[in-house]
Amino acid sequence: MPSEQVYSLLFQSRDGASSLYILFGGIVDPVSSRIDRFEVVAVGNSELINIPLSGTTYKDITNICQKIKYEGKQLKNLTNKLQELFQNSGRSDDFMEQLIHYINKREDEKIRYLINQIQNQAMGNSKPDISLWYSLIDRDKIDEAGSGKSSFETLDSEEAHEESAPEELPTIPIGVPTGIDASIPPTAARVQFKFILSPVSGIPVNQLKPGDQIVVQLTGNDPTTLGIIDSMKLKTEDGSIKPIPATVVATENKGVENETIIKIGNDVFGKIYEEENSIKVRLYTGEKPVSSKSGQTSSAASNASLEAGESSLLLTVLIALGVVGIGMIAIFVFLL
């Protein structure tokens, strides 16, 4: 049963060096140790998220994020990647245990560290300036807008009050996926992965269809993906990750953008975004891929075997010649 009080967690991340700015608002349930719902958006213009977090509510952040997305001002791929990463982290027991502990203890620097670990998976190693604001609120006040709402430039226009305005759309909880995400069971593990490409014989990514068997490689440092890599023993001695077969579950093509959901086994799913229709994905034919390293090892073993055989043959010939020589000497001595 959900708790009566939850944390409203808001943050802004500003990385001026790479011109990447992120706005996030989430509802954290301290009893179930889950992120109930959240909104996140990444932009290239800091002015779009230039708002004071103090006095701002989760609903306010939701309104701003949805408006930015509706107007097409977000960095879509980065926003989608962050959406997926925070969704996975919100279901991770280890991550949530740390997050709630740090919130309870008000250890802001450690909260910033956790947030930055997620962001780095999407945007590479960086040290952004992260502003935090969190407070305990009653669950029935989650959808209330704050008193500071009228000061947000992004919400000042009259269209913000129209019925069709994006900020009037209901907030979608994590547990209620839409679009092709609905093909992923809510209890399934979600991993990060990349396609294994085959420029000659592969299938174009925009031609993938449900049921296709392809080859993928798990990537990322989130707890879920690392756990699957360990359980399937995919990491080799040199630290590389073995490619594995996967089944396409759902696809969606939006011009040059493609979204693909794959399934590995019965309860492991993954989703990927691609912006190029020209890339070709390797189809799974049932054959195990042979790495160059294993090929070199096999060749070396064959050479060693051949050399051993040649040495054995030479030794046999020398022994035979020795026996013949002894015999001839014996005969010669006998005749004398």
Q: Is 277 helix (H, G, I), strand (E, B) or coil?
A: coil
What's at 127, amino acid-wise?
Answer: K
pTM greater than 0.75 (yes/no): no
93-105 and 108-123 helices cross at what angle (nearest 10)?
A: 140
Look up residue 329 and give its two tokens.
């000497």
Q: Which tokens hold the place of 126? A: 């960086």
How far apart are alpha carbons 147 and 201 in whole angstroms? 59
**Boundary-marking domain end, from 82, 114, 141:** 141
Q: What is the pLDDT of residue 210?
A: 93
Regarding whether 271 and 203 lie in a shared domain, the answer is: yes
Angstrom CA distances, 199 to 207, 221, 248, 279, stand at 14, 28, 19, 7
Domain that holds residue 205: 188-282
Q: At what angle do helices 76-89 and 108-123 cross, to 10 degrees?
A: 130
The answer to the question of residue 331 being in a domain is no
One domain for residues 99 and 201:
no
The Cα–Cα gap between 192 and 194 comes to 7
CB atoms within 10 A of CB 144: 14
Residues 112 and 30 in one domain: yes
Same domain, 11 and 88: yes
Contact between residue 277 and residue 206 where contact means Cβ atoms under 8 Å apart: yes
C-alpha separations of 258 from 192, 205, 274 in Å: 16, 7, 5
21 within 8 A of 43, measured Cβ to Cβ: yes
**Same domain, yes or no: 98 and 11:** yes
Q: Are residues 10 and 116 in the same domain?
A: yes
User: Last residue of a domain, which of 253, 282, 311?
Assistant: 282
Angle (CA) 221 225 228, round 5°: 135
In a domain, 221, yes or no: yes
Please give the Cα distance from 199 to 88 (Å, whole number): 31
Task: Identify whether 177 is part of a domain.
Answer: no
Say if 25 falls within a structural domain.
Answer: yes
- Residue 149's closest CA among 128, 167, 164? 167
Same-domain status, 55 and 132: yes
Q: Within this chain, do residues 119 and 203 fall inside the same structural domain, yes or no?
A: no
> Is 234 part of any domain?
yes
Q: In the beta sheet, which residues pair with residue 25?
A: 10, 39
Residue 204 — φ and ψ, nearest 5°? -55, 140
- Co-location of 197 and 96 in the same domain: no
Same-domain pairing of 131 and 10: yes
Cα gap 180→184, rounded to integer Å: 8
| Angle, CA 117 vertex, CA 197 and CA 16 arms, to 5° | 95
Phi-psi domain of 107 (left: phi exceeds 0; alpha: psi -120 through 50; beta: other): beta
Shared domain for 16 and 125, answered yes or no, is yes
308 within domain boundaries: no
| Residues 98 and 105: beta-carbon distance below 8 Å | no
- Please indicate, yes or no, whether residues 110 and 209 belong to a single structural domain of this protein: no
Which H or E run includes 25? strand 20-29
Residue with tokens 């991770």: 92
Considering 261, 282, 303, which residue would you say is the last residue of a domain? 282
Q: Is residue 294 part of a domain?
A: no
How does DSSP classify residue 144? P
pLDDT tens digits for the chain (336 residues)? 466 899 999 999 998 888 889 999 999 999 989 998 999 999 988 889 988 888 889 999 999 999 998 888 888 888 999 999 998 888 888 899 999 999 999 999 999 999 999 988 888 777 889 999 999 999 888 888 764 443 333 344 334 444 444 444 444 444 445 577 788 887 788 888 999 999 999 999 999 999 999 999 998 666 778 888 988 899 999 989 999 999 999 998 877 778 899 999 888 999 888 877 789 999 998 866 444 344 444 444 444 444 444 455 555 656 666 666 666 665 655 555
Q: How far apart are CA 317 and CA 313, in angstroms?
A: 6
3-state SS class at 55: coil
Look at the chain and report how many structural domains it folds into: 2
